């Protein structure tokens, strides 16, 4: 059975890629053939003569199967801005069929796939469609990454309600401590446990060095 999940966040810069990397490695440890997929990216880093998206690079390295950069990230934009705006400036329409074809290709090679979105749940792909429309079409199970900070409670509740309202399965949520813990962090998580009905998959501690992560020490459960 092939498992496919979509990673969304309560906002941009909440740690979707770090969480995806950890989940991919944990799934591989259970014997799955894992693959990270970033269908749309914006913002690149220069590496030799190529320009690579950092998120896509991390997903590629975290996958247990070998994938090309194009397979991991078929649609990319150089600047760091909302994809639908960049597509207008560059006259490069984002077509859902391209996203689906890329996913279908990876599905032939892997049996545990994480698809990382861009920004939050309703990130637009055009003036008429959002990322959520494609997720619904593909019937993907969604995992919410919640950055533990001021405002996260409202954002997390709204995100889960939006997902459920579209009759999409929410497989769980992960708390990500993007700042060093303060006295309120545990209360944020306790409050979220009261309001969020989807399974709590675990907590990512504040990471001083994101390049050296001991996955075994991070207590996160795989979604069902």
Catalytic residue (choose from 25, 38, 60, 149): 38
pLDDT exceeds 60 at position 136: yes
**For the chain, which residues make up each domain, given as ranges?**
3-217
pLDDT at 50: 54
Which CATH homologous superfamily contains domain 3-217? P-loop containing nucleotide triphosphate hydrolases (3.40.50.300)
Token couple for 106: 């990876």
How far is the CA of 18 from the CAs of 70, 147, 169, 219, in angstroms? 20, 12, 22, 14
User: Model confidence over 92-124: pLDDT tens digits?
Assistant: 889 999 999 999 999 999 999 999 999 899 999
26 as an active site residue: the answer is: no
Q: How many angstroms separate the CA atoms of 193 and 44, rounded?
A: 36
pLDDT exceeds 70 at position 150: yes
How far is the CA of 4 from the CAs of 37, 54, 160, 164, 207, in angstroms? 10, 22, 18, 17, 27
């Amino acid at each position: 059975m092939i498992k496919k999940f979509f990673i969304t966040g309560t906002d941009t810069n909440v740690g979707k890629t770090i969480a995806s990397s950890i989940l991919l490695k944990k799934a591989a440890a259970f014997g799955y053939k894992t693959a990270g997929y970033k269908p749309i990216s914006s913002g690149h880093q220069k590496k030799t003569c190529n320009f690579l998206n950092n998120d896509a690079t991390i997903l590629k390295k975290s996958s247990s199967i070998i994938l090309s950069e194009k397979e991991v990230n078929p649609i990319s934009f150089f600047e760091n801005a909302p994809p639908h705006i960049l597509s207008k400036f560059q006259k490069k329409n984002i077509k859902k069929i391209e996203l689906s074809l890329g996913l279908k290709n990876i599905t032939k090679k892997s049996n545990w796939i994480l698809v990382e979105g861009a920004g939050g749940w309703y990130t637009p792909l055009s003036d008429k469609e959002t990322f959520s429309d494609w997720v619904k079409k593909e019937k993907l199970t969604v995992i919410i990454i919640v950055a533990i900070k001021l405002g996260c409670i409202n954002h997390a509740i709204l995100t889960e309600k939006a997902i459920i309202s579209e009759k999409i399965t929410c497989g769980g949520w992960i708390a990500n401590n993007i700042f060093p813990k303060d006295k309120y962090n545990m209360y944020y998580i306790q409050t979220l446990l009261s309001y969020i009905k989807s399974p709590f998959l675990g907590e990512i501690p504040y990471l001083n060095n994101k390049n050296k992560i001991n996955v075994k020490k991070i207590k996160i459960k795989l979604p069902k």
